[in-house]
Structure formats: C-alpha cells, structure tokens
C-alpha cells in the first residue's frame, strides 16, 4: 500500500508535524488518534515479529504525555524502551514506522540518533528513574532553578529492579522535581512476581478506600469554611486509612508524593493528573493502571503470547476483536495524597582549607623543588626532580603522597576551573579522600550510598544534561555496575569519567577487595578509553585529557604511593605511549606503577650483559600505541609487559592481539601479571614479590627470552 493511501487512512498521524500540535487537539481528535496508532501497530505486527501488546497498552498514556508536556524542552524516558512505538509515531517517524526492527530501519527501542525526543537507549529494565534524576540534577546545575520537567515511564515489571529503589532512595534525599509514572499492567513479559507485585495488587484491588475518599471529599466540599484545619485533618485521616488498608505509604516514606491509582486509558484524567504532578515541586509517583494489549481482545486475554508474537499469528481478524473502550475494570478511580513532605535535608557548608604550594628551580643543578602545605592536615611534602642532562625521563623522585590524594587534588583544581565537572561516589567519600570536594562544592558532589549501579546511571543523566560527571569508585566495587557501564555509558557514548581507585592489590583487605579484573571487563566496550598513570606526573594530565575527551574514560590507579613527579613529561595524546628510556635490544612495557621496577631491571641487564633495554610507559590500555610498543619486536628485539591485573584478557593480552592482527612474530613477547587464581591478603609488596611482579623476575624473563644463562641476582 502506498504512503499516500495510508495517509488517507491515517489523516491525523500523516499530517502531524510536531507532537506539540496535540495540545490543540480536541478530545474526539485524541481518541481518533489513538485508534490510528493502534491500527498502525497492528499493521506492523501483521508483517513481522514486533513488541505488540505492551505498545497497545500505552497509547493513551503516550498521547496524554505529549499533549501535556513539550518534550522538546521537558525530558521523557521510557523504561523498558520496547513500549516506544506510539512515541515514535507521534514524534515525526510515521513515514518510516513500518521499517522498525529491520536492517537500516528504525530501532525497536529509543534511539537518540533517530530523534531528539529519544533521550536514551533504554533496552534494559530499571534505569529510567536514576537517569531522569541525573538529568534533573544536571539541568539544575546548568540552568539554575530548573524549568524543565523530567519524567520516567516505568512498567511494573521493571519497577521491581534493585536499581529502581537505589534511585528512589537517592531522589527522596535530594528532592529533585521528577515524575515517575508507574505503568501498572500486572505484567512484565510474563506475569510479574515478588512481594512488590503483591503490594501493587493491594493498591489495585481496594475499592473501599477509593469510595471512602470520594465521600470524604464530597463532605469537605460542602463545608468550604472549615479551612486549613479540616484539610489537615482529612490529610492525616487519608494517610492513616491508606497505611492501614493498603500499605500505600511505601512510596511516600521514600520521599515521593504518591498520586493514584488512575485509569491509564482515560486521556482527560491522565492530562489532569499529569498537570497536577507537574505543579508539585517534589518527586512524584503517578500510579497508572493500564491493560497490556488494550484495544485488541486476543492480546488482552493472552498478553504473554502477544508480547512479541509471530507475524500474522491470527489468520482471521474480526472487527469485534478491536475495542475503543477506555475502561479497565470497575471501581478503579484516581486518588492522590495530600501528605506534607518532610523538610529537605540541608548539608552544612564550610570553606575548604587551601593548599599552599611554593617552589624553586635551579638551572645550574637542573633541580625542581616543590613544597606543598595544607593547613587542614598540617602535612608537608617535598618533591624533587633532577635532570642530569639526560634524554631519558629521570625517575629520581621523592613523594609520600598516595595516588588517591593526588587524584583528589587534581579533581579539586579542575572543578575550580570548570563548573561543569561534578563528582559522584558510592558511600566512599572518606576512602576516596573526597571530603574537601564535598565541602567546597556541595552542589556538585553526590554521595548515592552503597549503590554503584545507580551511581553510573545517575552519571549518565548528568552527562546527558551537559555535565561532566566523575564517578569515583573502588575498582572492585565498580564491578557491581557492569551492565550500566555497558548500556548507560559505552552504548550511549556519554562523557563520563570513571576513576577506579585501588586498582590492583589492596594488601591486607584480600581477594574481596583486590581490584584485578577491571582491565579484563572494560577492554571489550566500544567508545571507552582506559588509562593507567605511572606516577603522579601522569595523573593531572590524564584527568585533563578525560575532561576534554567528550567520550567515556576510565583511569585506574592503585592503593599505593604515587611515586612522585618527573620532568620532561610528555603531554597526553590519545592512544600514545611515553618512551621513558630507549633501548636497542628490547623494551619493558609498563602498564601502571612499575617504572622504578623496570628501571632496576634495565640497569641490571645493561651492567651485567650490556643488553640495552628500553622502558615504555604505556599510559593507554585502550587504545594501544601499537606503533611505539611493538617497534622493539619489529627491530628484532623483545618485549616484556608488566601490569597489576589479571593476565587473562589484560593489557599484555591486548599487546599479543595487536601483534597477531599486524602479523608480527609474538614469540619474544612475554607477559607479567596475575595468574588465574584469587590472590590472598598480605602487604602489597609481599604479594607482588610472590607473584613475580618485581625486577628480579623481569630479569629472569628477559634472560629466558634471550637464552642467557641465569645468574644470581
């Protein structure tokens, strides 16, 4: 059928230029529009397997949203995103709609590349509330008092996700103006399960409370002179009834104003309560009852079968299978809570003590001396670097400051320079030494509690709003947000910086806290850059690179002293390694903090065997500087890689993969790292020695490669 003929059959959809036009539609036109949308979805279902019943169930809700809000300004996220079809039809994709889920056609989920009305790709359940909260927070930071409204539409199946309650817990704490629409159709793909589903069914099935509420409102309306005192009594009475009959205080105790339940197929009622939600300057949960498959009887009767049915599953379609009825069941009317929200928590602010830095440089001695003093900690650090007219990057440094503190100081300085940078931690403010940031920039510091998954989701929302979020979490704990790193960070290609503190061995904390897997699980993600500083010299350069990158970046660093500062440090270029020392016979490639270890081994090899061994600071784990790192092999030499992480899928493995892709002989490439077992607790240096990440083992490996007789070290 030609598009012209279809246009005649879908006059409203085919002529719709912008969803803003819906605000001028009459009620009758909106009902006709709902019928056109259902017909177009059914036409699609007749051709191929698509998400069917779930989209039929949100038609009226989608129309009500777009006729109430202007989502070219306001924010809308669908969760899970397979219920996006009506939204796509209303936002300029009617002509392409029949191409959905085909190669080169529209995506079956939200896709920002298709339309500015699709904010995020939401293919995995549960992330909408955290993202909407992050967007609202970012909008507030960028625009002052936020004039935009953020809405998350989430199904009751997705609502049982743990990250949902992580986000609601955070939202109830920071009190952002977001609306969560709980699309309750008693289904996920299959019937929902769990205690929450029982709670929602209580809200759905208690008509006695609804009738009592209506009678009380009628009574109060007849006595308008009773004033605020009666309103207060009524509010307390309603809360008591709701708590006693339904357990409906759950959401309000989390800090959300609860509105509902209401009929999700009655457009005027939806519009009325959406406007009410918009006027409330607190988190709101609007509980909407819908019917999966609404308007098509076979899908209503068997919603699981019609979730994504085979095309043309019904050979004969009769007109009595379709219905324009906007009712679900009797005795389901709207209600809302008048509970007074508790006062917003206010964090005390205090001025952070500045760090005083003084220094001098002697050209005759080629010596740089820095003295850093903090009035807060009464600590003083002297850092000296020498340049003895050498082309090599000298490693003689004095510094007793941990990587964690060096990273913190760099973040603090860059936040002073750039008001788009914000910091998120997951209950590790003290462990990450972030207290000065919290004190100096309270509005740009977010502690989400022990909710690593939500931390990454929240960061995605902040980034979508235009902020540059830094997620500062221990390496071992970032593992808990693996799915969010995939979907909210890598897939969306958002400028989120992940700082992986305590990457490598954590000493006495043992195998539960060793951060040894991050390289392995982060390397496969497209769009993600991974870096590892060798010492304090690299930290600030890398962080500044990450802030400007415009894409996701991870930087890993250990629970160890930072090793100090070098002079003649090369600037950071994406995917470019740093040559610390040149060598004619081979090179030790350092991923992370082993420059001193590599220098000792290289010095020994030259003193004993006159073997000229270079030292390369890899800097980038992804992308890898194959040109620099593999050059010694091309010249007939050897390579030894050393990393504080698992050998399997680690940095050294990436070097071998690169050699294979370039058809380079890899027999003289050897890797040092952690074996395929869990590392027990102990002092970091003891454990490194046991594993063989020391200069002695590097020498032995080099001797083995060159078939040199082993000698005492």
Span 352-397, pLDDT tens digits: 333 333 333 333 333 333 344 343 343 333 333 333 334 455 554 4
Write out the two tokens for 334: 């709207």
393 contacts 580 by C-beta, under 8 angstroms: yes
pLDDT tens by residue, 571-613: 999 999 999 999 999 999 999 999 999 999 999 999 999 999 9
**R_g over Cα of the chain:** 30
* pTM over the 0.85 mark: no
Query: Residues 5, 7, 8, CA angle at the centre, nearest 5°?
Result: 65
Cite the DSSP H helix spans in 144-254: 162-174, 195-204, 207-221, 227-241, 249-253
Write out the two tokens for 331: 């005795």
Domains of the chain: 3-321 (3.40.50.970), 355-556 (3.40.50.970), 578-705 (3.40.50.920)
pLDDT at 213: 54
| Residue 79: other Cβ atoms inside 10 A | 30
The counts of H helices and E strands in the chain are: 27, 20
pLDDT tens by residue, 230-286: 555 555 555 545 544 454 578 888 899 999 889 999 999 999 999 999 999 899 999
Percent of the chain at pLDDT exceeding 70: 77
Q: What DSSP string describes 550-616?
A: SS-EEEE--SSB-----SSPPPP-TT--EEEE--SSEEEEEESS-HHHHHHHHHHHHHHH---EEEE
Write out the two tokens for 117: 């009305």
Write out the two tokens for 614: 């270079």
| Residue 143: other Cβ atoms inside 10 A | 12
Rounded distance between C-alpha atoms, residue 98 and residue 86, angstroms: 13
Residue 402 is classified by DSSP as: B
412 contacts 403 by C-beta, under 8 angstroms: no
Rounded distance between C-alpha atoms, residue 486 and residue 489, angstroms: 6
Burial label, 328 (beta-carbon count in 10 A; 0-12, 13-18, 19+): middle
What's the mean pLDDT in 438-443?
Answer: 97
Beta-strand runs (E) in 618-712: 620-622, 638-646, 669-674
Label residue 443 by pLDDT band (50, 70, 90): very high
Rounded distance between C-alpha atoms, residue 707 and residue 37, angstroms: 75
Rounded distance between C-alpha atoms, residue 544 and residue 553, angstroms: 11
Cis peptide before 623 (omega within 30 of 0): yes
Rounded distance between C-alpha atoms, residue 79 and residue 178, angstroms: 15
pLDDT tens by residue, 444-502: 999 999 999 999 999 999 999 999 999 999 999 999 999 999 999 999 999 999 999 99
39 contacts 94 by C-beta, under 8 angstroms: no
In angstroms, what CA-CA distances link 253 with 258, 262, 605?
10, 21, 67
Question: Which residues on neighbouring strands pair with residue 620, listed in sequence order?
Answer: 531
Stronger pLDDT, 238 or 426, i.e. the higher one: 426
């Amino acid at each position: 059928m030609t598009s012209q003929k279809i246009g005649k059959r879908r006059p409203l959809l085919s002529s719709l230029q912008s969803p803003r036009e819906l605000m001028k539609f009459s009620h009758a036109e909106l009902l006709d529009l709902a019928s056109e949308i259902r017909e177009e979805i059914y036409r699609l279902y007749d051709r191929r397997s698509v998400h069917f019943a779930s989209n039929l169930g949100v038609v009226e809700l989608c129309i009500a949203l777009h006729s109430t809000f202007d989502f070219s300004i306001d924010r809308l996220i669908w969760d899970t995103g397979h219920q996006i079809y009506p939204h796509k039809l209303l936002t300029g994709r009617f002509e392409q709609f029949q191409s959905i889920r085909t190669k080169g056609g529209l995506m079956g989920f939200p896709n920002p590349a298709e339309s500015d009305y699709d904010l995020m790709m939401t293919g995995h359940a549960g992330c909408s509330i955290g993202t909407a909260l992050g967007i609202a927070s970012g909008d507030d930071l960028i625009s002052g008092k936020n004039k935009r409204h953020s809405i998350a539409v989430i199904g009751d199946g997705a609502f049982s996700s743990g990250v949902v309650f992580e986000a609601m817990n955070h939202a109830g704490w920071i009190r952002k103006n977001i609306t969560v629409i709980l699309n309750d159709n008693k289904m996920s793909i299959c019937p929902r399960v769990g205690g929450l589903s029982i709670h929602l069914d209580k809200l759905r099935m208690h008509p006695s409370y609804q009738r009592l509420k209506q009678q009380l409102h009628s009574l109060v309306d007849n006595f308008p002179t009773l004033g605020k005192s009666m309103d207060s009594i009524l509010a307390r009475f309603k809360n008591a009834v709701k708590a006693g009959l339904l357990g409906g205080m759950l959401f309000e105790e989390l800090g959300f104003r609860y509105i509902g339940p209401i009929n999700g197929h009655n457009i005027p009622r939806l519009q009325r309560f959406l406007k009410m939600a918009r006027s409330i300057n607190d988190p709101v949960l609007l509980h909407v009852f819908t019917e999966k498959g609404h308007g098509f009887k076979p899908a209503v009767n068997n919603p699981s079968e019609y979730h994504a049915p085979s095309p043309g599953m019904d050979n004969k379609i009769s007109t009595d299978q379709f219905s324009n009825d906007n009712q679900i069941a009797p005795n389901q009317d709207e209600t809302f809570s008048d509970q007074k929200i508790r006062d917003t928590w206010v964090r005390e602010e205090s001025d952070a003590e500045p760090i005083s830095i003084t220094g001098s440089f002697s050209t005759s001695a080629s010596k740089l001396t820095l003295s850093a003093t903090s009035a807060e900690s009464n600590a003083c650090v002297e850092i000296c670097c020498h340049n003895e007219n050498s082309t090599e990057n000298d490693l003689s440094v004095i510094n007793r400051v941990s990587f964690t503190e060096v990273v913190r100081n760099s973040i603090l300085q860059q936040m002073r320079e750039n008001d788009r940078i914000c910091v998120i931690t997951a209950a590790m403010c003290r462990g990450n030494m972030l207290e000065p940031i919290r004190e100096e920039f309270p509005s740009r510091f977010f502690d989400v509690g022990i909710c690593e998954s939500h931390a990454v989701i929240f960061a995605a929302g902040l980034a979508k709003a235009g902020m540059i979020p830094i997620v500062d979490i221990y390496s071992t704990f970032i593992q808990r947000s693996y799915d969010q790193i995939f979907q909210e960070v890598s897939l969306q290609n958002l400028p989120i910086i992940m700082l992986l503190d305590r990457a490598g061995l954590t000493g006495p904390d043992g195998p539960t806290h060793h951060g040894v897997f991050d390289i392995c699980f982060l390397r496969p993600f497209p769009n993600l850059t991974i870096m590892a500083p060798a010492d304090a010299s690299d930290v600030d350069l890398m962080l500044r690179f990450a802030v400007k990158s415009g894409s996701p970046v991870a930087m890993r660093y250990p629970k160890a002293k930072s090793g100090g500062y070098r002079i003649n440090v090369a600037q950071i270029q994406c995917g470019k390694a740093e040559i610390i020392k040149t060598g004619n016979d081979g090179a030790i490639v350092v991923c992370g903090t082993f420059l001193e270890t590599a220098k000792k081994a290289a010095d020994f090899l030259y003193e004993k065997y006159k073997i000229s061994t270079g030292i390369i600071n890899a800097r980038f784990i992804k992308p890898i500087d194959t040109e620099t790192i593999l050059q010694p092999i091309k010249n007939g030499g050897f390579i030894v890689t050393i990393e504080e992480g698992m050998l399997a899928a680690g940095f050294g493995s990436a070097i071998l993969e690169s050699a294979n892709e370039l058809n380079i002989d890899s027999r003289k490439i050897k890797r040092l790292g952690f074996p395929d077992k869990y590392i027990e607790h102990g002092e970091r240096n003891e454990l490194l020695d046991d594993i063989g990440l020391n200069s002695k083992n590097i020498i032995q490996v080099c001797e083995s490669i060159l078939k040199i007789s082993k000698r005492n070290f």
